[in-house]
Amino acid sequence: MTLQLSGRWFLPCPHVSTHSIQCRTSPYPNPKFPQTRALSATASLFSPPPAIQIVGGKTPTWRENGSVTEAVDDEIDWAEMDADLYYWTRALRPVQWYPGHIAKTEKELKEQLKLIDVVIEVRDARIPLSTTHPQMDLWLGNRKRILVLNREDMISTADRNAWAMHFSRQGTKVVFSNGQLGMGTMKLSRLAKSLAAGVNVKRRAKGLLPRPVRAGIVGYPNVGKSSLINRLLKRRMCPAASRPGVTRELKWVRFGKDLELLDSPGILPMRISDQAAAIKLAICDDIGERSYDVADVAAILVQMLAKLPTVGMKALQNRYKIDVDGQCGKMFIEKLALRLFNGDVHQAAFRVLSDFRKGKFGWVALERPR
């Protein structure tokens, strides 16, 4: 029986027993996951009507305890999580967002890069791999670069250490920051000036007067670029808000006598080919809400949180007072909608996403180095 609460979204999500699950080699087109094994729920393949389910992935890491299923491993296999996420997103509408101002910004930014001494790339510390533009290395070439992982307060010390080690091995200068409170801003300023110190050495050798170091701040929407600049300047010089698309034009601002900063709007690729990364952008509010189905994204978030040892399905059930067997995120959102929002799926989904973004499950990273 199909439950019609919100159009196509609410198809039933039957419980799939471990006896009906078969492993198969999945021919993923994504080169990041070659030869990955994923689950195929054979029970759902032959049951009319065919329900789109966000379940399965790889070998289950769950144990049954009455109506509660929990991740049993203390450490999550992040490569496995990415493979699961890719599998879950295959049936969903693609997440794409490319408002008109981004195309204009990209063109202008390429021109301004010719004037920049050092580039400061800002990423979301919860998803550093998903918040880097695939063309960034090509645009920057040999220019000196500083990587800023903003929102360091939203990840654990273990996550922070893992990323610090990862980028250190790559020889990348990394600064952890909190754009809201200003942590890391002074270190960032000193590092930018030191990396670009050779600029004025060359100018003096040519008989030219010294000039301020020019640093361009780039990154995806809503990763905290403008907030970081405002904290550096200790005043509100750039518009900033907790939603993507607020900054819409490039702007130079002066920081003291020795540093000039270029604030730029968030830039995204015209087409996001990695839909697993796109879902993470949606979960973390780093992409426009019109680009995705809130209910689909919330359902996947539930499944990710259920699989993370630091959260687990039991924590979700305790928070929302909902008892759901298995690991079906859609059924969880369905029950929440019926319990709290008179069947309104959108409100239920938004509640779960909002709770995650506010740290109601603890501060949780959705990526670790692979």
Q: What is the pLDDT of residues 96-125, one digit of tens each?
A: 877 666 777 788 888 888 888 889 999 999
The yes-or-no verdict on residue 260 having pLDDT over 80 is yes
Same domain (yes/no): 42, 168:
no
CA distance readout (Å), 254 to 146, 215, 261, 327:
19, 10, 6, 52
Per-residue pLDDT at 210 = 84
Query: Looking at the structure, do residues 319 and 187 belong to the same domain, yes or no?
Result: no
DSSP run (H or E) holding 67? none
- Identify residue 361 by its one-letter amino acid code: F
What is the structure's pLDDT at 325? 65
| Statement to judge: residues 148 and 170 lie in one domain | yes
CB 285 within 8 A of CB 315: no
Does residue 369 lie within any of the structural domains? no
Q: Write out the residue range of the structural domain in which residue 121 sits.
A: 100-263
| Structural domains of the chain, count | 2
Instruction: Looking at the structure, tell me whether residues 82 and 106 fall in a common domain.
Output: no
Quick one: average pLDDT of 48-65? 37
Domain assignment present for 216: yes
Instruction: Say how far apart CA 55 and CA 67 lie, in whole Å.
Output: 17
| Residue 276 tokens, joined | 């697993």
**Considering only CA atoms, which of 303, 298, 305, 311 is closest in space to residue 344?**
298
Q: How high is the pLDDT of residue 237?
A: 52
Decide: helix, strand or coil at residue 203. helix
Are 121 and 85 in a shared domain? no
Both 87 and 212 in one domain: the answer is no
Same structural domain, 226 and 184:
yes
What global pTM score does this model have? Answer: 0.74
Where does the chain show beta strands of DSSP type E? 21-25, 37-41, 62-65, 68-71, 118-124, 144-150, 173-177, 213-219, 251-255, 259-263
Comparing C-alpha atoms, which of 352, 240, 367 is closest to residue 302?
352
Residues 320 and 352 in one domain: yes
Block residue for tokens 């993507």: 244
- Structure confidence by residue, pLDDT tens digits, 152-210: 999 999 999 999 999 999 988 899 998 777 688 888 888 888 887 788 888 888 888 88
